Amino acid sequence: MFEQFKKLICQYVEADEEEILPSSRFSEELGFNSYDYMCMLGEAEDEFDIEIIESEATSIKTVGEMVEYFEVLKNEKNQNT
């Protein structure tokens, strides 16, 4: 999921996939503004077939935290189906 998410990130900011690490911070290091961040989250919902809770997602600061959050949502969805 991390590799797939890195590709998605690169659609929104000028970053090389190789430079995106789990510790990369969205706004400080990758240059996301709030609009791009929310647009990326909307696309991530479609890409990963999950439903993101906006209030939870806005508190996430790093790529690794977001991937972990996506994995939790995906696991919860799989358990409920």
Residue pLDDT, tens place only, 46-55:
999 999 999 9
Alpha-carbon gap, residue 13 to 66, rounded angstroms? 16
- pLDDT bin (cut points 50, 70, 90) of residue 80 is confident
Q: How far, in Å, CA of 11 to CA of 47, rounded?
A: 13
13-66 pLDDT, tens digit per residue, is: 999 999 999 999 999 999 999 999 999 999 999 999 999 999 999 899 999 999
Per the CB < 8 A criterion, the answer to whether 6 and 17 are in contact is yes
